[in-house]
């Protein structure tokens, strides 16, 4: 079995979403490739595939004590950023919670071009002490969450295919920067991310970590809150997807409940049919803080 096949096999075992997240492989000669599923919009786009591979290679070569490498983004990628950024900004004014709006103003992303991850990292660091480091692709759960304890967020640097700009199952630069970058410009959110990282580092069982990951999905990624009697989007995935923000109010919405979140399945390849809502952003904070400080390897919630 070749080195590349071994890596693919391991990725499939570790992540059910492996093909959706386009696993990165390196063969025995050191050549980096990105594997695209047949239904990926970039499946037959060789220049896009090669560009993604070059970005992944830069991430794999990156040293932790250095800034994220600058990426030579194409004009088509800048245009995708401009188009999506403009639409997201308009939708945020209608659907985003106040904490996100305030953090977005602090981060002050430019709309005329795709920013470099190093630029965003430098700005976020001045605001909350969090930094961004480059990830070649999907990062193992314990590695990804654990790095949050050091106030470090591992982010991809590629951007979604231009033919499908309004939604991406993969965590691209739009998701990382608009979603998580904005979150991490808020001290309130940054505190939750750090607590999540510390929680995962102290947990030993994979089952407990999986439960934390599921709660993370339905709160940090897809959480909702009530403000002034209206349902507002709070999660990074919701707020970085134009398509999701057109859909989320039609989802089956439930109150925040860790046990229910642990039982609830989720989708990465399409809009979420089931979402959870906090009574306020204060409730969002309190719920997540209490869950993360109380969860342990023997928690009854794991078997709930």
Are 204 and 257 spatial neighbours (Cβ–Cβ below 8 Å)? Answer: no
50 is catalytic: no
CA distance 52 to 205: 34
Catalytic position from the list 175, 186, 241, 299: 175
Q: Which H, E and C letters describe the chain, residue by residue?
A: CCHHHHHHHHHHHHCCCCCCCCCEEECCCCCEEECCCCCCCCCCCHHHHHHHHHHHHHHHHCCCCCCCCCCCCCHHHHHHHHHHHHHHHHHHHHHECHHHHHHHHHHCCCCCCCCCHHHHHHHHHHHHCCEEEECCCCCCHHHHHHHHCCCEEEECCCCCCCCCCCCCCCCCHHHHHHHHHHHCCCHHHHHHHHHHHHHHHHCCCHHHHHHHHHHHHHHHHCCEEEECCEEEECCHHHHCCHHHHHHHHHCEEEECCHHHHHHCCCCCCCCCCEEEEECCHHHHHHHHHHHHHHCCCCCHHHHC
Catalytic position from the list 104, 168, 237, 240: 240
Give the max Cα distance, the chain: 59
Token couple for 12 = 């499939």
Catalytic position from the list 194, 221, 241, 299: 221
Phi and psi at 98, nearest 5°, equal -65, -40
Catalytic position from the list 40, 51, 92, 180: 180
95 is catalytic: no
168 is catalytic: no
Question: Strands 32-34 and 224-227: what pairing?
Answer: unpaired
Are 236 and 221 spatial neighbours (Cβ–Cβ below 8 Å)? Answer: yes
283 is catalytic: no
User: Any idea which residues carry the catalytic annotation?
Assistant: 175, 180, 221, 240
């Amino acid at each position: 079995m070749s080195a590349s096949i071994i890596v693919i096999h391991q990725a499939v075992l570790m992540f059910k979403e492996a093909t959706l997240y386009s696993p990165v492989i390196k063969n025995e000669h050191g050549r980096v490739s990105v594997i695209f599923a047949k239904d990926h919009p970039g499946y037959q786009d060789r220049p896009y595939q090669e560009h993604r591979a070059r970005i992944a290679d830069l991430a794999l070569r990156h040293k932790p004590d250095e800034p994220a490498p600058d990426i030579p983004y194409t004009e088509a990628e800048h245009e995708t950023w401009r188009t999506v950024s403009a639409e997201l900004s308009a939708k945020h004014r209608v659907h985003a919670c106040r904490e996100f709006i305030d953090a977005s103003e602090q981060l002050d992303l430019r709309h005329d071009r795709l920013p470099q991850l190093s630029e965003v990292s430098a700005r976020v660091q001045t605001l909350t002490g969090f930094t961004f480091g480059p990830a070649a692709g999907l990062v193992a759960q314990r590695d990804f969450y654990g790095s949050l304890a050091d106030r470090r967020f591992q982010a991809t640097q590629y951007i979604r295919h231009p033919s499908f700009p309004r939604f991406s199952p993969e965590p691209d630069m739009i998701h990382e920067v608009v979603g998580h970058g904005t979150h991490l410009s808020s001290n309130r959110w940054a505190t939750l991310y750090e607590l999540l990282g510390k929680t995962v580092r102290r947990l030993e069982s994979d089952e407990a970590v999986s439960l934390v990951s599921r709660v993370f999905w339905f709160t940090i990624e897809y959480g909702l809150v009530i403000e002034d009697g209206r349902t507002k989007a709070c999660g990074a995935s919701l707020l970085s997807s134009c398509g999701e923000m057109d859909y989320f109010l039609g989802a089956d919405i439930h109150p925040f409940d860790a046990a229910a979140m642990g039982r609830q399945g989720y989708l990465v390849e399409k809009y979420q049919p089931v979402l959870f809502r906090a009574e306020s952003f204060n409730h969002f904070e309190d719920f997540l803080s209490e869950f993360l400080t109380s969860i342990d390897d023997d928690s009854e919630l794991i078997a709930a």
